[in-house]
């Protein structure tokens, strides 16, 4: 027990990524509040083994089946069950060995395990925004039917979630997602055309993985968050607004029908929303640095430059049109980021590739889950075909 909190068994799907590693730091600092029951990774077997030796989970899954023997051998003397492959991720998500899934698998790959966890009646701490971008209607309907809480880990959605506590009878006028603007705030296309991978990975405020760092630099991350917010908080597209806030102190805001605005503030540190989600509905103490209002700091806000960062226009189109368009956009973006990180395409080419894919793929207004998977595969193939070998 910790502060009246029953020890919560956590399954971390994507434990070797940035969010997964920071989640383990939070758990390490609160051993009486949380235990680690499941750890999964796609291919980083060395770090997964280290994590398993330290936290001694019930189950470990390595997505890359070629690395199964290394993991199994390294953990042979430990009381840890080792599985491998994508199907194992889904099967473990269906097991009754944990209380909450921290869904941190990057991209579309996180959808199936998350759906299985919801079917299993498990609470979801959602760090994978693509799950809701791709199939938000199906995911939220299933969560409603199973009475499963989905608690956002993204700092912006965590902020909105926190602002809405105690406001169940208050009508939301709009939510205002804040964006730092990334490393290229104020830059124009003539500068961006020459941007390389390493420069784009240098986020000014947040320490994040490669995929989300690039998405932040192109503002696609904010576009994905707009769509995620629609599903999480049952909003209409015109109720979601984005403003640039370079200091990243206000993490997002909610404006109510009376004109009042509530915001959630704090220093930019992902461990704070992670801990909030894990411990919900309680708050537990932390040693995280505090924001000090006595130190002079100006908080500023400005409109995003959508002429330069056109991903926000594409995401707004996907948000408004719905259907399989957000799924297609997300799939094309994952291919574009993958190619950019390998120096196969330029920074501005990413947006062009996403736009072309959105224009070319057939639109489905009310997709089934299988049609979402088909749309994802078709969009990836089409986007990949646009990249010059």
Q: What is the pLDDT of residues 25-37, one digit of tens each?
A: 999 999 999 999 9
Q: Do 184 and 195 form a contact (C-beta atoms < 8 A)?
A: yes
Q: Does 199 have pLDDT greater than 90? A: no
For 282-305, what is each residue's pLDDT tens digit?
Answer: 999 999 999 999 987 899 999 999
Q: Can you give the pLDDT at residue 197?
A: 87
Average pLDDT (103-127) is 93
pLDDT band, very low/low/confident/very high, at 1 (cuts 50, 70, 90): very low
Long-range contacts of 272-276 (CB under 8 A, 24+ apart): 272/155, 273/152, 273/153, 273/154, 273/155, 273/158, 273/159, 274/19, 274/22, 274/23, 274/26, 274/102, 274/125, 274/127, 274/153, 275/26, 275/30, 276/151, 276/158, 276/162
For 53-83, what is each residue's pLDDT tens digit?
Answer: 999 999 999 999 999 999 999 999 999 999 9
Strands 81-84 and 150-152 come out as: unpaired
SS3 at position 235: coil
Whole-structure pTM value: 0.93
- Structure-token pair, residue 254: 């909610």
Round to whole Å and give the CA distance between 313 and 186. Answer: 17
User: Domains in the chain, ordered, with CATH?
Assistant: 8-152 (3.40.50.720), 157-268+290-321 (no CATH)
Q: Do 330 and 239 form a contact (C-beta atoms < 8 A)?
A: no
Q: Can you give the pLDDT at residue 2?
A: 45
Long-range contacts of 167-172 (CB under 8 A, 24+ apart): 167/254, 167/256, 167/262, 170/256, 170/257, 171/256, 171/257, 172/233, 172/235, 172/239, 172/254, 172/255, 172/256, 172/257
For 352-379, what is each residue's pLDDT tens digit?
Answer: 999 999 999 999 999 999 999 999 999 9
127 phi and psi angles, rounded to 5 deg: -105, -10
Average pLDDT (259-279) is 97
% of the chain surpassing 90 pLDDT: 89
For 252-262, what is each residue's pLDDT tens digit?
Answer: 999 999 999 99
Q: Can you give the pLDDT at residue 206?
A: 65
Angle value at C-alpha 383, between 16 and 237, nearest 5 degrees: 80
For 117-132, what is each residue's pLDDT tens digit?
Answer: 999 999 999 998 889 9
Q: Do 42 and 123 form a contact (C-beta atoms < 8 A)?
A: no
């Amino acid at each position: 027990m910790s502060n009246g909190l029953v020890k919560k068994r956590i399954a971390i799907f994507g434990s070797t990524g940035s969010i997964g590693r920071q989640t383990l730091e939070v758990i390490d600092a609160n051993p009486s509040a949380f235990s680690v029951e499941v750890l999964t990774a796609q291919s980083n077997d060395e770090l997964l083994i280290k994590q398993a030796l330290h936290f001694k989970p019930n189950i470990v899954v390595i997505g890359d089946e070629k690395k199964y023997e290394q993991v199994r051998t390294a953990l042979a003397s430990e009381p840890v069950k080792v599985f491998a492959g994508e199907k194992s991720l889904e099967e473990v998500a269906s097991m009754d060995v944990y209380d909450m899934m921290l869904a941190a698998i990057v991209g579309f790959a996180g959808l199936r395990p998350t759906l299985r966890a919801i079917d299993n009646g498990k609470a979801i701490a959602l760090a994978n925004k693509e799950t809701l971008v791709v199939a938000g209607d199906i995911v939220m309907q299933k969560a409603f039917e199973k009475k499963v809480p989905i608690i956002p880990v993204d700092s912006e959605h965590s902020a909105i979630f926190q602002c809405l506590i105690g406001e169940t009878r208050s009508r939301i006028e709009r939510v205002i997602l804040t964006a730092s603007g990334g490393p290229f705030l104020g830059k124009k296309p003539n500068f961006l055309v020459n941007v390389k991978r390493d420069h784009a990975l240098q986020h000014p405020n947040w320490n994040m993985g490669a995929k989300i760092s690039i998405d932040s630099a192109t503002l696609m991350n904010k576009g994905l968050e707009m769509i995620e917010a629609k599903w999480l908080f049952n909003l209409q597209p015109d109720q979601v607004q984005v403003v640039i806030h370079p200091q990243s102190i206000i993490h997002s805001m909610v404006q109510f029908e009376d004109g009042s605005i509530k915001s959630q503030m704090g220093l930019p540190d992902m461990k704070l929303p992670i801990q909030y989600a894990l411990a919900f509905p309680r708050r537990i103490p932390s040693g995280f640095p505090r924001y000090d209002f006595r130190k002079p700091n100006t908080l500023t806000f400005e409109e995003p430059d959508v002429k330069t960062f056109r991903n926000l226009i594409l995401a707004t189109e996907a948000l408004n049109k719905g259907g399989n368009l957000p799924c297609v956009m997300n799939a094309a973006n994952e291919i574009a980021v993958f190619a950019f990180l390998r120096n196969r395409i330029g920074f501005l080419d990413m947006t062009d590739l996403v736009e072309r894919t959105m224009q070319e793929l057939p639109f489905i207004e009310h997709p089934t889950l299988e049609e979402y998977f088909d749309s994802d595969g078709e969009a990836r193939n089409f986007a990949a075909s646009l990249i010059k070998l």
